[in-house]
Amino acid sequence: MIPEVTGVKTLREAFEYAKEFDILLLPFEHAEGMVHTREIVSRIKPGMKVGIFIGPEGGFEDGEVELGESYGAHTITLGKRILRTETAGLFVLSVLGYQLESV
């Protein structure tokens, strides 16, 4: 399966674009914790359309997280680590790969 890549969008436009996806994930350093993250990730099944929103260096601002949540995004944690923007996405994809292979 080849991921679809679209043009550049504002954050609001990206959430608007993804609002019909099956689940939206927003890694955030102040998310609830690993138990909550495992519960959210366990909902993802093969064939679901998943939106992953990776923040800039320094993370999302609270208002950006609130915007995401207003579109139904789930904040998740990446554990006890703060990753660079270019590695955070790969980390999330690895977690999803593991989850989907074990279904």
Q: Are 99 and 42 in contact (CB under 8 A)?
A: yes
What's the mean pLDDT in 61-89?
94
Structural domain boundaries, residue 71? 11-101
In-domain check, residue 50: yes
CATH of the domain at 94: 3.40.1280.10
Q: Is the pLDDT of residue 1 over 80?
A: no
Give the Cα separation of 78 and 47 in Å (integer): 23
- The larger pLDDT score, comparing residue 4 to residue 55, is at 55
Count of domains forming the chain: 1
What is the pTM (predicted TM-score) of this model?
0.90
* pLDDT (mean) for 5-25: 95
Contacts of 65 (CB under 8 A, 6+ apart): 26, 28, 30, 75
Burial classification of residue 101, based on how many CB atoms lie within 10 Å of its CB (0-12 exposed, 13-18 middle, 19 or more buried): exposed
pLDDT (0 to 100) of residue 53: 96
User: In the predicted model, is pLDDT for residue 103 greater than 70?
Assistant: no
Characterize the bridge pairing of strands 74-76 and 50-52: unpaired
Answer yes or no: is 34 within a domain. Answer: yes
Instruction: Check whether 38 has a pLDDT greater than 90.
Output: yes
